[in-house]
Amino acid sequence: MLDSGFNMKLGDFGLARLMDHELGPQTTGLAGTLGYLAPEYVLTGKASKESDVYSFGVVALEIASGRKAMDSVDPNSDLGLVQWVWGLLGKGELLLGVDPRLKKDFDSKQVECLMMVGLWCAHPDRSLRPSIRQALQVLKFEAAVPNLPMKMPVPMYYYTEPDAPEVSSGSGGGSITYTSIDLVR
């Protein structure tokens, strides 16, 4: 994507990976730009459609907010863009996250939809992310905006020990189960 001065503003947003095509889609090296990488991709090193959707969500939030994925909104905080926007949603102040350079000259319904789709795509639980087709249907107002939790779910990963026979044969490996929880303060 180019701006009015033909300067590149959006290109590959961090999903590059090294692959051994003999092994199929198994990732051989973790690559990408911090802030755009889905939590499960960082943990496992395996890219997927869901990790691509996560990155799309971060880009949607960047477009709406005018902020970079890893820019600290508050100098006293280390919240990334997704966490910051989710916090605004929880306070009922989502539109306070809109790029101030727009000077309130925007369609609030469209921008709110973009931000909600961005959060939906960047959901910490990959099983709750939409497909790109579903996200586009919402962005085109062909489907309802999703209901999201007011607090950002916290990802929890559990490492399950492999079965003994698999370990002894050397072919086993653990599995990771993903669970979302909502912390109460």
Contact 51, 15 (CB under 8 A): yes
Asked if 60 and 119 touch (Cβ cutoff 8 Å), the reply is no
Domain assignment of residue 176, yes or no: no
Domain that holds residue 66: 18-150
Tell me how many domains the chain contains. 1
Burial code (b: 16+ CB inside 10 Å, e: under 16) for 143-172 equals eebbebeeebbebeeeeeeeeeeeeeeeee
The top-scoring range by mean pLDDT among 121-130, 148-157, 174-183 is 121-130
User: Confidence band (pLDDT; 50, 70, 90) for 118?
Assistant: very high
Kindly state whether residue 77 falls inside one of the protein's structural domains. yes
Would you state the pLDDT for residue 6? 56
Q: Give the pTM.
A: 0.70
Q: Which residues pair with 157 in a beta bridge?
A: 178
CA–CA distance from 3 to each of 8, 81, 135, 182 (Å)? Answer: 7, 22, 24, 39
pLDDT tens digit sequence for 31-57: 556 678 888 877 788 888 999 999 999
Is residue 142 included in any domain, yes or no?
yes
Within a domain: 3 = no
- Mean pLDDT of all residues in 131-147: 96
The answer to the question of residue 9 being in a domain is no
Alpha helices in the chain (DSSP H): 39-44, 49-65, 81-90, 108-121, 132-139, 164-169
Read off the CATH number of the domain in which 50 is found.
Answer: 1.10.510.10
The answer to whether position 123 is within a domain reads yes
Least confident of 15-29, 45-59, 97-111, 124-138: 15-29
* 172 domain residue, yes or no: no
- The answer to whether residue 94 is domain-embedded is yes
Q: Are 181 and 154 in contact (CB under 8 A)?
A: yes
